Amino acid sequence: MNLILFGPPGAGKGTQAKYLVNRLNAHQVSTGEMLRNEIKNNSEIGIRIINDMNDGKFVSDEIVNKLIKNVIFDPQKKNKLIFDGYPRSLSQAQNLDLLLNSSNQKIDFIFFLNVNKDTIIKRIEKRKILEKRSDDELDTILKRYDTYMETTKPVLNFYSKNSNFYEIDGTLEISEITSKIDAFLNV
């Protein structure tokens, strides 16, 4: 089974992805984590992206799509993919469709964790203390939220007509969101 966790920064995609990795014996595909690792390893990609990441700007499709392609064509991960933070734009959604088609895979569930701006700000302020992410400063959070509204949210039109699209109130407690996801998976 492959699924997408969709929603604004701070919606809880990463938290639910980690739960689903255990529940489904699957792999979390977090482009954000992959990119942070590139920076940590001081790789060529890491050096190219560090400023944009710190500013909360998108990393280029060229880089992100390459990372995603490697995961999708990894035979160990086939049909065990939990996308978290990808796709983030219409062009990425179209790219994902192409890559899945050419690897004989599909998306089985799309979960949209819907959260309002105030909750996002509160959550990310907490995460800043716990995870010390350089893109969790208030001005960067606000920029990332605006980018979500302008570029990522339109992707909902691409997915929301699908019969496997489910909207979940992302302001609920973590365990309540998990139960809702479980209920949809068990139908």
Indicate the residue among 74 and 182 with the shorter CB distance to ligand AMP. 74
Indicate the residue among 134 and 164 with the shorter CB distance to ligand AMP. 134
CB of 152 to ligand AMP, least distance (A): 9
Are the C-beta atoms of 56 and 135 separated by less than 8 Å?
A: yes
Looking at 2, 28, 92, 105, which residue binds ligand AMP (CB under 6 A)? Answer: 92
The 141-160 site mask, x for binding ligand AMP (CB under 6 A), equals: ---x----------------
Q: Which stretch binds ligand AMP (CB under 6 A): 17-25, 50-58, 123-131, 173-181?
A: 50-58
End-to-end C-alpha distance for the chain, whole angstroms: 14
Indicate the residue among 154 and 179 with the shorter CB distance to ligand AMP. 154
Q: Residue of minimal CB distance from ligand AMP?
A: 32
Q: Using CA of residue 177, residue 179, residue 185, residue 187, what is the dihedral sign?
A: negative
Instruction: Supply the Cα-derived Rg of the chain in whole angstroms.
Output: 16
Residue 5 contacts ligand AMP per CB under 6 A? no
Largest pairwise CA distance in the chain: 45
CB of 147 to ligand AMP, least distance (A): 8
Q: How far apart are CA 28 and CA 14, in angstroms?
A: 8
CB of 142 to ligand AMP, least distance (A): 12
CB of 187 to ligand AMP, least distance (A): 28
Residues sharing a CB contact under 8 Å with residue 125, sequence separation 6 or more, in sequence order: 136, 138, 141
Looking at 6, 19, 58, 83, which residue binds ligand AMP (CB under 6 A)? Answer: 58
Amino acid sitting at position 45: I
Residues sharing a CB contact under 8 Å with residue 90, sequence separation 6 or more, in sequence order: 154, 155, 158
Count of other CB atoms within 10 angstroms of residue 54 = 14
Count of chain residues binding ligand AMP (CB under 6 A): 17
CB of 184 to ligand AMP, least distance (A): 22
